Structure formats: C-alpha cells, structure tokens
Amino acid sequence: MNTARLELVSFKTCPYVQRAAIVLHEKAVPFEITYIDQTNKPDWFLRISPLGKVPLLKVDDTVLFESAAIVEYLDEVYPPQLHPADALRRAHNAPGSNSPRPFSPAQLQMLLSPDHASFDTATGAFP
C-alpha cells in the first residue's frame, strides 16, 4: 500500500476538486484538504501552482495539478481501479465517448420534474 502523505488544495467553491475528493473517498485513501482564499492566494500556493489554479494534489513533496491528471494518478496507484482494464471498455467510460447515455431524455425529465403532473407526463414517454 502506498504510504505517501496526500494533501488536496482547493478553493471552497471549486467543482473540479470534487473529482479528486470523490476518488479519494471511494478508495478510502487518507488525505488532508486545505482550502485557500481564491481572491487572496497565499505565496506558498503561488510558488507551487504554476498557473495559480486549483485543484492541486501534494504527494509528499511532489505537486500534481489538473483534476484529470490527479484522478488518473490516484486510480493507478490506489486499488481498486475504478475503470476496466480492457482498453475498449475503458474508452466507453471516457467522457464524451460513444457509450450509452446514463439517462434518456424522458428519464431526465422525470428526475427534474417540479411537480406530479410533469412527472406523470415524463413517465408516459416510456414505451
């Protein structure tokens, strides 16, 4: 098991950090999270983040940035892998792939229905 010290750095309102946080929680990997002020970024952060963006993941003394790279690293290093080993199946899981949509338009309308009438109308769209 990897014993590196992990620290996730983010703004309180950064949606991209959620990708990494979800993977860390799903894999039960211990980590710390540090929130910084988006309007007053600390000097230590600006020294380690070349673009001044979050999220970034400190792995001991090494810094990773960009949520996709962080998630890919975490999935490779901490078992179990979240994506299939088969390259074709993995490609189908990739964002923007030609894999089936998780929800049909009728299902989305059902989920987002503001009232019973809208829900009933959406459920009537199913064969």
Please give the positions annotated as active site: 14
Distance between CA atoms of residues 49 and 64, nearest Å: 9
CB 60 within 8 A of CB 31: no
Element (H, E) at 116: helix 116-123
| Separation CA 126–CA 76 (nearest Å) | 40
